[in-house]
Amino acid sequence: MTNGAELTVTGVDRAFGGVYAVRDVTLSVAPGELRAVIGPNGAGKSTLFALIGGQLAPQAGEVRLDGARIDRLSAHRRARLGISVVFQAARIFHGMTALENVMVGAHATNGAGFLAGALRLPVHHREERLIRERALECLARAGIADWADRPAEELPLGQQRALQLARALCAQPRLLLLDEPASGLRAGERERLATLIGELRAEGLTMLLVEHDVAFVMRLADRVTVLDLGGVIAEGTAAEVRADPRVIAAYLGAAPEETGPEAAAAAATATATATETQTATGGERDAGTAARAAEDQGQQNAGVREDSASARKGAEP
């Protein structure tokens, strides 16, 4: 049983060259909750994750884990506090086997230091054995046990993504950040991932999940936070968010008042249908189609993005 951590993000800002990627985001995730974060391309989802994981420091605001401030800590310290990340791009370690890749994840748990390794103290041997066992378990959980001794860079893309997840699990996290873990996966692999995420949730791990496949997200998450232009535009249960006119507008790339009621209703139905088709038939082909439709919508939005970005730039203090 994991005891999931509580995450509180208050008013965080992060800009790149005067353009806000994340602006005044406030978000609170209860222990054991699975929170989905959705939004069009460039909405700031990955940037928000980086602010929580420590790859970036916020320019304003606070990030707290179980009530303690962590926003000034380096990424490796945050990892030691129990935050694990599955990056959007598969960041794996080359020149090392899959097993070794996963063993690196164990760095986040307490461990023998530099000297213990250099002098081969007994603690080193004891730890190595434990870490290896745990890493093998994590590989198995992620469904890639057969690849353990292969060089990581030889794994197919889907397996590389699973490898990242196995590495994150090997850290025994209390907060897991999953940035589009299902992208590039085949339908069967997606199902397996959904099952694993469900298991982790049942174990009480707190998770944040970014995913463009809206159906995938809505099915798994307790609550959904919608980001657009770096800010939170809606938050609630899947049903609440789906009915929110601002969400519909964001996904269609138009302001609510400009959208006629018919268009909003059509968009709502489109999202809802995508979800329902998937839950009803459970058919992998349909789920895939829905996912692609959702992704296409995201891509369309990217065009509108350019203008909004310059608009945001003007708003810079």
Ligand X SMILES: Nc1ncnc2c1ncn2[C@@H]1O[C@H](COP(=O)(O)OP(=O)(O)OP(=O)(O)O)[C@@H](O)[C@H]1O
Residues lying near other proteins in the complex (CB under 8 A) are found at 53-55, 74-76, 79-80, 84-85, 87, 91-96, 100-101, 103-109, 111-114, 116-120, 124, 127-128, 131, 164, 167, 171
Under the binding rule (CB under 6 A), the answer on residue 253 touching ligand X is no
Region of 251 on the Ramachandran plot (φ > 0 left; ψ -120 to 50 alpha; else beta): alpha
DSSP letter, residue 40:
S
- Report the candidate in 245, 267, 210, 273 with the shortest Cα–Cα distance to residue 52: 210
Under the binding rule (CB under 5 A), the answer on residue 160 touching Mg ion is no
Cα–Cα distance between 192 and 202 in angstroms, integer?
Answer: 15
Which is closer to ligand X, CB of 41 or CB of 97?
41
Tokens of 82: 């129990």
Cα–Cα distance between 176 and 86 in angstroms, integer?
Answer: 8
Site for Mg ion in 190-249 (CB under 5 A): none
Under the binding rule (CB under 6 A), the answer on residue 23 touching ligand X is no
Cα–Cα distance between 219 and 68 in angstroms, integer?
Answer: 31
Which is closer to other proteins, CB of 72 or CB of 292?
72
Partner whose footprint covers residue 87, from ligand X, Mg ion, other proteins, none (CB < 5 to 8 Å by kind): other proteins
Partner whose footprint covers residue 100, from other proteins, ligand X, Mg ion, none (CB < 5 to 8 Å by kind): other proteins
Cα–Cα distance between 269 and 260 in angstroms, integer?
Answer: 14
- Residue whose beta carbon is closest to Mg ion: 46
Q: How far is the CB of 88 from Mg ion (least distance, A)?
A: 5
CA distances from 231 to 52, 57, 161 (A): 15, 17, 28
Q: How far is the CB of 18 from other proteins (least distance, A)?
A: 24
Site for Mg ion in 25-84 (CB under 5 A): 45-46
Cα–Cα distance between 50 and 87 in angstroms, integer?
Answer: 9
Name the segment binding ligand X (CB under 6 A); options: 41-49, 94-102, 114-122, 259-267.
Answer: 41-49
Footprint on this chain of Mg ion (rule: CB under 5 A)? 45-46, 88
